[in-house]
Amino acid sequence: MQEGGEFEIRELSCLRYFHGRERIEDTIVGIVAGMLLGDAAPADRPLFGLASASDGTATVKVCGPRHPSV
């Protein structure tokens, strides 16, 4: 696990993910994921970003390497 601001980037064998909950607006979670990929998280596997929306749903965005190795 890595800390990315006020949330953690969790690692699984084939992907990484973070859940910004209410700390990251659902409208910018994709921007945050893109900024973290290659900076706070190596670009060797996809990075999923999740955030809670004001209507009670969740927003999920994914960023990945340009040439996935899988």
| Total number of domains in the chain | 1
DSSP assignment of 1-16 equals: -EEETTEEEEE-SS-E
Residue 55 lies in a domain: yes
Residue 69, pLDDT score = 58
Q: So what's the pLDDT on residue 1?
A: 39
Residue 24 falls within a domain, yes or no?
Answer: yes
**Residues 49 and 20 sit within 8 Å (Cβ to Cβ):** yes
Q: Cβ of 14: how many Cβ atoms within 10 Å?
A: 8
Which range of residues forms the domain containing residue 50? 2-63
| DSSP reduced 3-state for 34 | helix
First to last CA, the chain: 22
Provide the pLDDT for residue 30. 93
pLDDT along the chain (70 residues), means of 10: 65 93 90 86 89 93 74
**Domain assignment of residue 68, yes or no:** no
In a domain, 7, yes or no: yes
pLDDT at 68: 54
Inside any domain, residue 70: no
Residue tagged 């800390």 (tokens)? 3
Residue 10 forms part of a structural domain: yes
